[in-house]
Amino acid sequence: MEKLNSESFSSFIREGDKVVEFSADWCVDCKRIAPDMPAIAEEFADKFSFAVLDVDESRNIAEQYDVKGIPTFIVFRNGEEVDRLPSRNAKTKEQIETFLSGLKG
pTM score, two decimals? 0.96
**For the sheet containing 80-85, what is the strand order?**
2-4, 49-54, 17-23, 72-77, 80-85
For the question of residue 48 being annotated catalytic, the response is no
Strand partners, 85: 73
pLDDT tens across 5-55, in order?
999 999 999 999 999 999 999 999 999 999 999 999 999 999 999 999 999
The structural domains of the chain, with segments of one domain joined by +, span: 2-101
pLDDT tens across 71-89, in order?
999 999 999 999 999 999 9
Catalytic residue among 13, 19, 27, 33: 27
Catalytic residue among 4, 13, 20, 30: 30
Question: What CATH homologous superfamily does 2-101 map to?
Answer: Glutaredoxin (3.40.30.10)
For the question of residue 27 being annotated catalytic, the response is yes
